Amino acid sequence: MKSHRSFALWKRIHVALGKEVELGYSNHSIKNGFTAYLRKASSEDWFIQEYPDSLREKLNNATMIYEKNPSEGAFHGLLSTIGELQDYWDHQIPTAVMQDILLKPLQYCKGFGPKRAQLLSRLDIQKIVDFLYTFPKSWIDRRKTNTILEAYSMQGETVQIQAKIAQVSEQKRGGYLITSLVAKDHTGYLIASFVNQKYVKKLLQEHLNSPIFLSGKIQYQYGKLQMSNPLFEIPKDPKHPTSFQEIQPVYKLTDGLSQNVYRQLIRQTLLEHIVHIPEFFTSSVRIQENVMHRGEALSHMHFPLSFQVTEEARKRLVLDEFLFNQYTALQYKMLHRKKEGIQLHISDEMILDYQSLLPFELTFDQKKTMREFCEDLQSGYPMNRLLHGDVGSGKTIVAGALMYFTMKNQYQAIFMAPTEILAKQVFRIFTSLFASDQSIKGVLLLGELTKKEKEKAEFALQSGEASFAVGTHAFIEDKILFHRPATFIVDEQHRFGVEQRKKLFVKATQPHVLVMSATPIPRTMALTQFGDLDVSVIQQLPQGQKNIETRIISSSQRDSMNQILWSVLDKDEKIYVVCPLIEESESLNVANSVQKTEEIKARFPSIDVYLLHGKMKTDEKNHVMEEFRKASKAILVSTTVIEVGVDVAEATAMVIENAERFGLAQLHQLRGRVGRKSQKSYCFLVTDATSSSRLQILEQSNNGFAIAEKDLELRGPGELFGTLQSGHIFSQLVRLEEDYPLLEKAKMIATRFLENPSSAGELEKAIEFRNRKMVL
C-alpha cells in the first residue's frame, strides 16, 4: 500500500526533523515531544498495515534511542531509518504505472467533470501532472488573525478575523439580496455583508454563536467597520485547524473559476495523486545532498507548512530541472568521448614555434585555452569545445594555434565565419601569420567567388594543396570536399543553425570541433545550453580594459554629441554610425541608411561619409571598406551589425541610432569595434525610448561577462533551455543569480549518477517522462 496518510505523516515529520536540528536536538519540535508523536503515529493500525514488521521495529528502536538521549548521533540514526521507511513507501508502485496515472486527463478525476476540466484547459492545464506542476503565484498567511479593534487601523488592507456569529439578517436592495452578519470578538464588532449569496443566511443562522473566520478587505463606512463579500469558514471542530489557519496558495485564475474552487480542486488532486509522484533519489542521496523529497516538495509548493519550507521545496524542484538537463548533456558528452578521434601529436617545440609567429605574448587565459586545445587534440577522442570571451579578447589568435597544430600534423583545418567580410579578415590574419612557413598554404572560400576562382579553391581543398581554409557557409555545399580534414572551427556559432553546422562536420570522420562565441556567455547558459561541450573562457583582454565612454543620448542632445564627434575627427580618427535595425525589411533598412547618410553629409560637410548596406554587391562593399580604412578622417554609415565586424584601428567613436532595438550583448559587441588600440573612445546610444534602464547597464559597464549576465536576467529564465525545454515550470521557479549553486550541484549529482549507471534507472525514467510527455 502507498497511502496518502503515510505521505502526510512523512511531510509533517520532515518539517519536524528540520526543527529538531534548529532546536539543537531537544525532542521539542512537536508539542509533547517529537518521539511521542512518532511513536503514536507508528502504532496506528494503518501504519502497521502499511509497513513490514522489520522496518517498524527498526523505527521503534531508533525512536527510543533518540528519546532516551536526544543528540546529533541519535538523530542521524533516526533520520536514516525514517529514510528507509520512505524508500519502501516510494517503491510500492512501479514508476511506469505512476507515470501513466499522472498523464490522465483531469476530466476523469474526482471533483472535476468536463466543465471544470474545460476551465482549467484554458490555463493550459490538461493532465494531472500539469495541474500538480502549476504553482501558486503567491501565498497568503492565514495563520495570523487580528482583533476587530486592530482592524480599525487597517482600512483598505485584507484582514483576518476570528470572531463569533452574533446576528444574521437579510434584505433586498435594488434587485440585490444582501445578507448581513454581525461578527463579534472581545474587542468589538464588525459587519460582514454578502451580496446575492443565497445559501449564506441559512448556513450562518445554523451556527449562531459559533466561531467564524473571516477574511476580507476592511472598510470603515457609515460609522461602522465593514467587510464586503469576505471569505469565511466556520470551523467544524475547534480543535482541528481549518484552511484559515494555514498558508493558503493564490493561483492564476480564469473566468468562471474561483480561488476557492481552484484550491479545493488542487487539494483534492494532491490528496489523491501526490503518492504517484516518482522519487528518483534514495533517502540517502537526499540526506547527503540535503534536499527535500520530491513529492513533499511538490506538496509544500501548494500547501506549505511554513514559508521557510517553500524555499526548500522550490530548490528541490529547480534542482530536478537542472539535473535532467545536466544528466542529458553529460551523457551525450560521455558518448562522444567514447568515439575514436584523430589523435594528433603536439610537441613543446610546436607550441613555441606558434608563439614565435606572434608579434605579442599570449595572455594567461589564451595560454590556458591553448593548453586545453592541446589536451583535446592529443587525447585520441574528438574535441568538442566551446570558446567564449569578450570582443577583442583574442579568440582568433588562439583558434590559430588549433589550426597550426592540426596542419603540423599534416591535416587540414577549416575555419567557418558568419559573413564574407569576417571571413576575409580572418583569412588576412592567418595568411600573414603563417606567411613565413612554406609548408602552410591557405584558401579563402566565399559564395561570391567567380566560377573559376571557386574551382581553384575547391581543387586546392580536395587535393590537399591547401592546408587550411577560411570561408563562409559556402563550405557546406555538397561539392566541397576536403583532403584529410581534422579540425573545424565555427566562429560566432549562434549565427549558424545546428543543421548547417552538422552539414559541415559530416565532411570528416569524428573531427575536432571548436565553436566560438563572439560574446561572453552567462555562466548559467554555458552550463545549461552548452553542457554537452567542454568550455574554455578568455576573461582578460590583451590590451587591458577598453577605454570606451558610453552615453545614452536623446535626439534633442545631438548637438552636444556632434561637438564630440568633431573633436574625434579633428584628431584624424574615424566614426561608425550604425542605423536602426528594421527586422522586417532590408529595403527599409537601406532607405533609412541612405537618408541618414544625407543628414550626416549636411552636418559634416567637409568630411568623407561612406555608406555600407546589405544590398550592396561584395566588391562594392570591399571598395567602401578599403576607402574607409585608407581615409584619414571619415564616417561610415552602416545598416547591419554584420558589416561592422571589421578591425579599423583608428575608429574611436560609434553612434548607434535607435539603440533600444538592439540586444545588450549585440550593442556591446558593436561597441567593441571602437578603441581597438585602447585609445579614448566613445559610444553614443541614441534613443528616445522612455525607459532606458537596459541601456544604462552599458553605460555603467564595459565588462562583457557582467553585461551578458544582466541581459539574461532581464530576458528571464525562459531563455535558459532554448525552445524545446523552456517548460514553464522553470520560468515559474528559477532565480538565475541565486540558483547557480544548484546548477553546479546538479552537475555534480549527474556526474555521480553517470559514474554509477546502475543507480540511475529511476532518474532516466523521470527524464524520459519529461522529454516524451511533459513538454509543458
Question: Considering CB distances under 5 to 8 angstroms, the limit depending on partner class, which of ligand ADP, Mg ion, none binds residue 362?
Answer: ligand ADP
Of the candidates 695, 705, 662, 688, the one whose C-alpha atom is nearest the C-alpha of residue 545 is 705
212 with 200: CB under 8 angstroms?
Answer: no
Question: Considering CB distances under 5 to 8 angstroms, the limit depending on partner class, which of ligand ADP, Mg ion, none binds residue 718?
Answer: none
Q: Is 388 in the site for ligand ADP (CB under 6 A)?
A: no
Question: Considering CB distances under 5 to 8 angstroms, the limit depending on partner class, which of Mg ion, ligand ADP, none binds residue 644?
Answer: none
Instruction: Find the part of the chain contacting ligand ADP (CB under 6 A) among 81-89, 355-363, 613-621, 723-731.
Output: 355-363
How many residues in the shown chain lie near ligand ADP by CB under 6 A?
Answer: 15
Task: Identify the helix (H) or strand (E) that includes residue 122.
Answer: none
Residue nearest ligand ADP (C-beta atom): 394
Q: Is 681 in the site for ligand ADP (CB under 6 A)?
A: no
Instruction: Find the part of the chain contacting Mg ion (CB under 5 A) among 111-119, 223-231, 237-245, 395-403.
Output: 395-403
Q: Is 360 in the site for ligand ADP (CB under 6 A)?
A: yes
Q: Is 419 in the site for ligand ADP (CB under 6 A)?
A: no
Q: Is 392 in the site for ligand ADP (CB under 6 A)?
A: yes
Minimum gap (Å) between residue 714 Cβ and ligand ADP = 24
Q: Which residue of 323, 374, 391, 521 would you call a contact of ligand ADP, by CB under 6 A?
A: 391
Q: Is 363 in the site for ligand ADP (CB under 6 A)?
A: yes
Minimum gap (Å) between residue 389 Cβ and ligand ADP = 6
Q: What's the CA gap between 425 and 472, in Å, rounded?
A: 12
Minimum gap (Å) between residue 397 Cβ and ligand ADP = 5
Q: Which three cell numbers stand for residue 775?
A: 513538454
Local structure of residue 495 (DSSP, 8 states) = G
Cβ neighbours of residue 255 under 8 Å, at least 6 residues apart? none
Q: Is 364 in the site for ligand ADP (CB under 6 A)?
A: no
Q: Is 382 in the site for ligand ADP (CB under 6 A)?
A: no
Residue with smaller CB distance to ligand ADP, 307 or 360: 360
Q: What's the CA gap between 636 and 653, in Å, rounded?
A: 11
Number of residues written out for the chain: 776
Question: Considering CB distances under 5 to 8 angstroms, the limit depending on partner class, which of Mg ion, ligand ADP, none binds residue 392?
Answer: ligand ADP
Cβ neighbours of residue 421 under 8 Å, at least 6 residues apart? 621, 625, 642, 643, 645, 646
Residue with smaller CB distance to Mg ion, 360 or 566: 360
Question: Considering CB distances under 5 to 8 angstroms, the limit depending on partner class, which of Mg ion, ligand ADP, none binds residue 542?
Answer: ligand ADP
Q: What's the CA gap between 429 and 270, in Å, rounded?
A: 64
> What strand order describes the sheet that includes 512-517?
442-445, 468-471, 412-416, 485-490, 512-517, 384-389, 534-538
Local structure of residue 146 (DSSP, 8 states) = B
Instruction: Find the part of the chain contacting ligand ADP (CB under 6 A) among 391-399, 521-529, 551-559, 751-759.
Output: 391-399
Residue with smaller CB distance to ligand ADP, 543 or 692: 543
Output the 3-class SS for 457-490: HHHHHHHCCCCEEEECHHHHCCCCCCCCEEEEEE
Within 10 angstroms of residue 615's Cβ, the number of other Cβ atoms is 11
Minimum gap (Å) between residue 493 Cβ and ligand ADP = 13
Instruction: Find the part of the chain contacting Mg ion (CB under 5 A) among 20-28, 101-109, 388-396, 597-605.
Output: 388-396
Q: What's the CA gap between 294 and 301, in Å, rounded?
A: 11
Question: Considering CB distances under 5 to 8 angstroms, the limit depending on partner class, which of Mg ion, ligand ADP, none binds residue 216?
Answer: none
Residue with smaller CB distance to Mg ion, 329 or 490: 490
Minimum gap (Å) between residue 544 Cβ and ligand ADP = 10
Q: Is 519 in the site for ligand ADP (CB under 6 A)?
A: no
Residue with smaller CB distance to Mg ion, 396 or 732: 396
Task: Identify the helix (H) or strand (E) that includes residue 90.
Answer: helix 72-90
Residue with smaller CB distance to Mg ion, 341 or 418: 418
Q: What's the CA gap between 771 and 324, in Å, rounded?
A: 9
Instruction: Find the part of the chain contacting ligand ADP (CB under 6 A) among 114-122, 292-300, 384-392, 652-660.
Output: 384-392
Residue with smaller CB distance to ligand ADP, 242 or 547: 547
The SS3 assignment for 223 reads coil
> Residues 641 to 680: which contact ligand ADP by CB under 6 A?
647
Instruction: Find the part of the chain contacting ligand ADP (CB under 6 A) among 56-64, 358-366, 410-418, 587-595.
Output: 358-366
Position 250, amino acid: V
Cβ neighbours of residue 206 under 8 Å, at least 6 residues apart? none
Minimum gap (Å) between residue 394 Cβ and Mg ion = 9
Q: Is 395 in the site for ligand ADP (CB under 6 A)?
A: yes
Q: What's the CA gap between 712 and 409, in Å, rounded?
A: 41
Q: Is 394 in the site for ligand ADP (CB under 6 A)?
A: yes
Q: Is 276 in the site for ligand ADP (CB under 6 A)?
A: no
How many residues in the shown chain lie near Mg ion by CB under 5 A?
Answer: 1
List phi, psi (to 5°) of 721.
-105, 20
Question: Considering CB distances under 5 to 8 angstroms, the limit depending on partner class, which of ligand ADP, Mg ion, none binds residue 537?
Answer: none
Q: Which residue of 190, 200, 397, 644 would you call a contact of ligand ADP, by CB under 6 A?
A: 397
Residue nearest Mg ion (C-beta atom): 396
Q: Is 396 in the site for ligand ADP (CB under 6 A)?
A: yes
Residue with smaller CB distance to ligand ADP, 179 or 363: 363
Strand partners, 188: 185
> Residues 102 to 121: which contact ligand ADP by CB under 6 A?
none
415 with 491: CB under 8 angstroms?
Answer: yes
Instruction: Find the part of the chain contacting ligand ADP (CB under 6 A) among 282-290, 314-322, 387-395, 696-704.
Output: 387-395
Q: What's the CA gap between 762 and 772, in Å, rounded?
A: 15
First to last CA, the chain: 31
Q: What's the CA gap between 613 and 592, in Å, rounded?
A: 10
Instruction: Find the part of the chain contacting ligand ADP (CB under 6 A) among 251-259, 359-367, 629-637, 658-666.
Output: 359-367
Q: Is 569 in the site for ligand ADP (CB under 6 A)?
A: no
Cβ neighbours of residue 565 under 8 Å, at least 6 residues apart? 575, 604, 653, 655
Question: Considering CB distances under 5 to 8 angstroms, the limit depending on partner class, which of ligand ADP, Mg ion, none binds residue 366?
Answer: ligand ADP
Q: Is 707 in the site for ligand ADP (CB under 6 A)?
A: no
Using CB atoms within 10 Å of the CB of residue 94, give its burial: 0 to 12 exposed, 13 to 18 middle, 19+ buried: exposed
Task: Identify the helix (H) or strand (E) that includes residue 318.
Answer: helix 307-338
DSSP assignment of 407-472: HHTT-EEEEE-SSHHHHHHHHHHHHHHTTT-TT--EEEE-TTS-HHHHHHHHHHHHHT--SEEEES
Q: Which residue of 77, 447, 464, 542 would you call a contact of ligand ADP, by CB under 6 A?
A: 542
Q: Is 366 in the site for ligand ADP (CB under 6 A)?
A: yes
Minimum gap (Å) between residue 536 Cβ and ligand ADP = 12
Residue with smaller CB distance to ligand ADP, 363 or 589: 363
Q: Which three cell numbers stand for residue 736?
A: 538565475
Minimum gap (Å) between residue 341 Cβ and ligand ADP = 26
Minimum gap (Å) between residue 275 Cβ and ligand ADP = 54
Of the candidates 384, 677, 359, 704, the one whose C-alpha atom is nearest the C-alpha of residue 539 is 704
Minimum gap (Å) between residue 392 Cβ and ligand ADP = 4
For 148, 373, 379, 459, the CA distances from 368, given in Å and listed in that order, are 69, 9, 17, 36
**Applying CB under 6 A, which residues contact ligand ADP?**
360, 362-363, 366, 389, 391-397, 542-543, 647
Residues lying near Mg ion in the complex (CB under 5 A) are found at: 396
